[in-house]
Structure 1
Amino acid sequence: MEGGGGGVHFVLVHGLGHGAWCWYRVVTTLRAAGHRATALDMAASGAHPARIDEVPSFEEYSRPLLDAVAAAAPGERLVLVGHSLGGLNLALAMERFPHKVAAAVFLAACMLCAGKHMGVTIEEFMRRITPDFFMDSKTFILNTNQQPRTAVLLGPKLMAEKLYDQSPTEDLTLATMLVRPGSQFMDDPIMKDETLLTDGNYGSVKRVFVVAMDDASSNEEMQRWTIDLSPGVEVEEIAGADHMAMCSKPRELCDVLLRIAAKYD
């Protein structure tokens, strides 16, 4: 899902089990405002042809984003936007290509600080939730070429009550048709590498955290904990936004993104 004119180039990355499709409202508004907007499918997500058991690592899962950032023309400044798990994809791209990224926006997302391993926010999230959090979601073991890996298919009841609870019913229906099994890749060595993210690369990119104030999944307390890992990070808030803020509050989210574009272009 790519297109648009000049201005800032927004590159949008989805969360667990989702795809480029979840950004359709935001992409439309950003392009109408004169910016370029590209929503990506990570590997084995959305319309990407691979199956999740065919994706050997988090780096390969992130390959569509890494390739897109690497291919950016000289002088083109990108604003990366990552939702939920997509914050980890952003971190990897920021570390590899810091000079190509004008700013990185973390929407109710995993946001790290240099010197912490990639899995730290997921570990904290899992520590805080109750055993029944995933409700009707299906967890299963993938038989990959490397080693078995856990995957999850988000359930309709979970999505209705904890992800899309403030969103239009049509968006929930769309999600139940399009979500695919996803993995957090917590068994990947990259998730435990405390030397991966550096101050000189990842830490040099401007970061903005957008708090979804009515998120029933990653609640405000968890989001504030994430922010506290990185003192000095810019913070925006969207009242009434559920976890899928791009569906529940698309206009308000676009207002935030346009302000960021004006500031960091």
Structure 2
Amino acid sequence: MASLQQHFVLVHGAGHGAWCWFKLRHLLQDAGHKVSCFDLTGAGINLTDPNTIVSFHDYNQPLSHFMSCLPPNHKVVLVGHSAGGLSLTQALHEFADKISVAIFLAATMLPFGFLTEEDMTDVVADLSEYGDVYEMYYGMGPENPPTSLKLKEEFQREVLYHMSPVEVTN
């Protein structure tokens, strides 16, 4: 019996881009599914300056645009990893009729997205045991809360990719 082809939309987490789905994308495509991956604003190869992103709506715009352009009656399997869960929450509120299922893969789950400053505190991982690991961006000025953050490169392997094999080149 042939399996039903699904359309998977894979949403990356903070500090990542569409590149992080490389292996899963190909496995799903090889199984006969359609797969869409893209960079959210200022992430991956999207060249938007993080200092110009002043709202979650701005950051999530590529996903919102993608979902709004889906044909009528087309449903997707929406998968979000880590902070990508926040993007899923927003998409669920805006495009529920276009989502067959949402999968939160080790992802942040807030029922309504960012509503309070406490929501931001709940979402940003406490990595204080490693020291000063985040590079903060203040798109609305230094007197306001950060609008985005990035894990400093020297901490990426230890914090995020400690189980990934080191690439060996000859």
TM-score interval for Structure 1 and Structure 2 normalised by the shorter chain: 0.7 to 0.9
Residue 129 of structure 2 aligns to a residue whose secondary structure is: coil
Q: Sort the Cα spacing of 1:120 and 1:12 in 2 relative to 1 into closer, same or farther, 3 A.
A: farther
Q: Are 1:92 and 2:90 an aligned pair?
A: yes
> 2:116 and 2:39 mapped to 1: Cα distance?
20
Q: Deviations over 1:16-66 (max 9, x none)?
A: 121111111111111111111111100011111211111221001100001
Equivalent in the alignment of 1:245: none
- Asked if the contact 2:14/2:150 (under 8 Å) is kept, the reply is no
Say which of 144, 152, 156 aligns to 1:155.
152
Equivalent in the alignment of 1:214: none
- The unaligned stretches of length 5 or more in structure 1 are 1-5, 171-265
- Asked if the contact 1:88/1:118 (under 8 Å) is kept, the reply is no
Residue 128 of structure 2 aligns to a residue whose secondary structure is: coil
Identical-pair percentage: 34
Q: Sort the Cα spacing of 1:74 and 1:118 in 2 relative to 1 into closer, same or farther, 3 A.
A: farther
Q: Are 1:142 and 2:138 an aligned pair?
A: yes
- Offset at 1:141? 4.2
RMSD: 2.8
Equivalent in the alignment of 1:35: 33
Pairing 1:148-227 to 2, within 5 Å after superposition:
148-150=144-146, 151-170=148-167
Q: Give me the TM-score of the superposition, normalised by structure 1.
A: 0.54
Equivalent in the alignment of 1:19: 17
- Asked if the contact 1:14/1:22 (under 8 Å) is kept, the reply is yes
Say which of 100, 103, 107 aligns to 1:102.
100
Aligned residues: 163
Q: Sort the Cα spacing of 1:152 and 1:82 in 2 relative to 1 into closer, same or farther, 3 A.
A: same
Q: Give me the TM-score of the superposition, normalised by structure 2.
A: 0.82
- Offset at 1:165? 1.1
- Asked if the contact 1:76/1:100 (under 8 Å) is kept, the reply is yes
- Asked if the contact 1:137/1:152 (under 8 Å) is kept, the reply is no
Equivalent in the alignment of 2:68: 70
Which AA in structure 1 matches 2:133?
S
Equivalent in the alignment of 1:124: 122
